[in-house]
Amino acid sequence: MSFERIAGYVYPLFRIVFGLLFLMHGLQKFGLLGGRMVPMLSRLGAAAVIESLCGPLIAVGAFTHLAAFVASGEMAVAYFLQHSPRGVWPIQNMGEPAVLYCFAFLYIAARGVGRFGFDRS
């Protein structure tokens, strides 16, 4: 079996899973899914809005380049403001998820929607 043959189907799955997981992080900041409500006029409030808007857009493949770029930037900012002051390495400062999301969304921003999305022409 050639993995290259299924790559066109695996990438949309990658995009959908990352988008939905990002949405869940946003919903937690609204007090859902076991999270706690954060102050909306704060950095975490801004993160909640970005995650709750960009996550579904990425998942369904709408405005994919822009939504993924914004999400990637949010994760970079989160890493440098929240995690890096706690230590040099992501494994030490608990910033691994932020780094993984940042680079996954950067890849999605560069690659675009792929198959199975609204942006597909």
In the chain, domain spans:
9-111
Six-digit token string for 75: 């994760």
HSE, side-chain direction, 13 A CA sphere, residue 112: 8
Residue 85 DSSP code: G
Residues 40-48: what's their mean pLDDT? 96
Interior/surface letters 43-68, b for 16+ CB within 10 angstroms, e for the rest: eeeebbebbbbbbbbbbbbebbeebb
Residue 3 — very low, low, confident or very high, per pLDDT cuts 50/70/90? confident
Residue 121 confidence (pLDDT) above 70 = no
Residue 110 — very low, low, confident or very high, per pLDDT cuts 50/70/90? very high
